[in-house]
């Protein structure tokens, strides 16, 4: 059964959840626009499997596609990655602050327990 993600951030994280798709994005970041064949070749996967990965990336807005005859050329789109980075950064600050306060509390509790001994 397929899962459909309605939220753009959910689609981005879903797309990034697969190592092959992350590697495809890295190839595009390093080399610029590439064809579907070029993106699938290093992974020893079938053309339909490569196409499925590309559709997931495209539906997440991470790729743009230019079609010229039978050639499909893909280019990296950074906006969804920037939005994911913003979400991660915001939550990292929250959790780092929360964990710092928890550490302070545990230190204080430990000092109190040492006095009782």
CB 28 within 8 A of CB 76: yes
Q: What is the pLDDT of residue 100?
A: 74
Task: Summarize pLDDT for 52-91 with one digit per residue, the tens.
Answer: 999 999 999 999 999 999 999 999 999 999 999 998 888 7
Q: Looking at the predicted structure, is the pLDDT value of residue 117 above 60?
A: no
- Overall average pLDDT of the 2-28 stretch: 88
Q: Which residues have a Cβ under 8 Å from the Cβ of 51 and sit 6 or more positions away? A: 36, 40
The reply to whether the predicted model has a pTM over 0.85 is no
């Amino acid at each position: 059964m397929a899962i459909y993600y309605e939220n753009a951030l959910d689609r981005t994280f879903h797309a990034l959840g697969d190592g092959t798709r992350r590697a495809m994005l890295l190839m595009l970041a390093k080399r610029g626009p590439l064809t579907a064949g070029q993106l699938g070749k290093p992974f020893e996967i079938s053309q339909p499997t490569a196409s499925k990965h590309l559709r997931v990336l495209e539906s997440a807005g991470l790729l743009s596609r230019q079609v010229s005859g039978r050639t499909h050329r893909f280019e990296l789109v950074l906006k969804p990655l920037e939005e994911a980075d913003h979400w991660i950064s915001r939550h990292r600050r929250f959790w780092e602050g929360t964990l710092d306060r928890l550490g302070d509390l545990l230190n204080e509790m430990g000092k109190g327990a040492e006095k009782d001994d």
